[in-house]
Amino acid sequence: MNIVIIGTGYVGLPVGIGFAELGNKVVCVDVDEIKINNLRNGKLTIYENGLKELLVKNLSKNNICFDISYDSIKNADIVIVAVGTPQSDIDNSVDLNFIYSSIKEIAKKLDNSYKVIAIKSTVPIGTCDKIESLLNNENIDVISLPEFLREGYALEDFFSPDRIVVGSNSKKANDLIMELYSSFNKDKLLFVDRKSAELIKYASNSFLAMKIHFINEMANLCEKANLNIDDISKGIGLDSRIGAKFLNPGPGYGGSCFPKDTLALQTIAKNYGVNLSLLNATIDGNNRRFIDIANNVCNFVKHIKSPTLAIYGLSFKKGTDDCRYSPSINIILNILKACDLIVKVYDPLAIDNAKKILGDKVLYFNDKYSCLKDSDLLVILTEWEEFKYLDFDILYNNMKGRTIYDCRNILCTTDSRFNIFKVGSGSFS
Ligand code: UDX
């Protein structure tokens, strides 16, 4: 099938490469010429496990190519729109400028051949209806095809999705989608109407965010009641109706989706006159958590003369270089606001992206041990695998302090020379 993907970001690129790997002819379009040239030369613009190998392989097989023009739409069977829908700067609504500018470009290239325009970007309820009236072309069907990829697991989630939600009011479009996903298990396909598909995406992310906030609040209770959150998490997760995933306590959720999508759903609901009380509490509680963790750190260092803090982890989660709405970055900024200290940071992948936000407010190190020199406290904020096993002799010989605040409960070993505090067991505050 001839597929055009508009947008080569964290969703568009893995989806385009995934469809190319399945034998389709894919053209990925983006306005960013530098990005397009990099991709043409097999140079990835995002970090995703295994993506580079597939990109190079499908470039050599001519299954995929990259373009800044929309000309390829003429021969497309399906156009998948995967441009960003960031949070608006004015309020918590969704900024649809990239969507509408790409729709305008698509409209110019439509002729009287049948095409499906699939909106993969996360968009408010009713956006596909608006796009359909904007295009005003009886030779096309607009469908909602929301994406559920997790950053860091994009290819895994593309090739073995839990579900493929298709929001469509057209049998013809449904038949084309069934052909597109013919190599997938048919049971994975869920056909609903367009608006339901648009809401499913927000509801799914909001529920996951709520689940994370719930376990973080249970962690707070465990700290006060002197219990261990790991036991609670395991105990409730064994209930098949709850499930063990997304019950890892941490510094709060972040990333380019949960913070944006929860706020967007809150606004969407408000516009329908509906108050989502659980969602409101999740948003407020998650933001509060960043401040609470920062305050815990400042309370710890306030008795130390010119304290030095070492931070492990800058990305919003392991497996990615993405620092957008990263809890780690948010907590560091709150710490710098609340107390005067030197902050040394290390992250295996995200330093370049972190520099764009933190600038020279902190000191960057390219390995986890040199970051520790003379530090009074080590705080772990991202659950990178390399933080699971630390050489405590090196810590002992380099750190001034003997305390570790493991906000991801990632450390697998202890050492009697150190006081190790985890979220949800024993109280650091
Ligand atoms: C999310 C959704 O999972 C995905 O389906 C959707 O398509 C895009 O948004 P992503 O933003 O990549 O994916 O990250 P995810 O793995 O969901 O984690 C989001 C945040 O929650 C991260 O900050 C992560 O560290 C945190 N998290 C996740 C927890 O704190 N605890 C958990 O148990 C799981």
Per-residue pLDDT, 29: 98
- Write the residue with the smallest CA distance to atom 14 of ligand 1: 150
Question: Ligand 1: distance of its center to the CA of 253 in Å?
Answer: 7
Report the distance separating Cα 224 and Cα 238, nearest Å: 24
Longest pairwise C-alpha distance within the chain: 74
- Write the residue with the smallest CA distance to atom 9 of ligand 1: 257
**Choice from 11, 157, 208, 423 to test ligand 1 binding pocket (greatest atom count within 8 A of CB):** 208
- Residue 162 confidence class, pLDDT cut points 50, 70, 90: very high
DSSP states along 176-212: HHHHHTTTS-GGGEEEE-HHHHHHHHHHHHHHHHHHH
What are the residue ranges of helices labelled H in 339-403?
Answer: 351-358, 392-398
Are the beta carbons of 297 and 335 closer than 8 angstroms?
A: yes
Per-residue pLDDT, 47: 86
Per-residue pLDDT, 197: 98
Question: pLDDT tens, 97-108?
Answer: 999 999 999 999
Q: Give the mean model confidence (pLDDT) for residues 346-352.
A: 97
**Residue 318 vs residue 89, higher pLDDT:** 318
Per-residue pLDDT, 169: 87
Q: Give the mean model confidence (pLDDT) for residues 8-17.
A: 96
Per-residue pLDDT, 93: 86
Q: Which of 28, 222, 257, 323 is catalytic?
A: 257
- Write the residue with the smallest CA distance to atom 33 of ligand 1: 246
Per-residue pLDDT, 401: 97
Ligand 1 atom closest to residue 148's alpha carbon, by position in its atom list: 7
- Please, what is the Cα angle at 194 between 12 and 207, to 5 degrees? 75
- Rounded to whole angstroms, what are the CA distances from 230 to 182, 308, 408? 41, 30, 11
Per-residue pLDDT, 338: 94
CB atoms within 10 A of CB 231: 12
In what side-by-side order are the strands of the sheet with 164-167? Answer: 64-67, 25-29, 2-6, 78-81, 115-119, 140-144, 164-167, 189-192
- Residue 352 confidence class, pLDDT cut points 50, 70, 90: very high
Residue 429 pLDDT greater than 80, yes or no: no
Question: pLDDT tens, 191-246?
Answer: 999 999 999 999 999 999 999 999 999 999 999 999 999 999 999 999 999 999 99
Per-residue pLDDT, 71: 97
What is the overall mean pLDDT for the chain? 96
The percentage of the chain sitting over the pLDDT mark of 70, rounded to a whole number, equals 100
Q: Ligand 1: residues whose CB is within 6 Å?
A: 147-151, 205, 208, 212, 246-248, 250, 253-255, 257-258, 316-317, 327
Tell me if residue 257 is catalytic.
Answer: yes
**Strand residues in 7-107 grouped as ranges (E):** 25-29, 64-67, 78-81
Report the distance separating Cα 102 and Cα 203, nearest Å: 25
The distance from CA 263 to its chain's CA centroid, rounded to whole angstroms, is 15
Question: pLDDT tens, 236-278?
Answer: 999 999 999 999 999 999 999 999 999 999 999 999 999 999 9
- Write the residue with the smallest CA distance to atom 6 of ligand 1: 148
Report the distance separating Cα 250 and Cα 164, nearest Å: 29
Per-residue pLDDT, 46: 87
Per-residue pLDDT, 274: 98
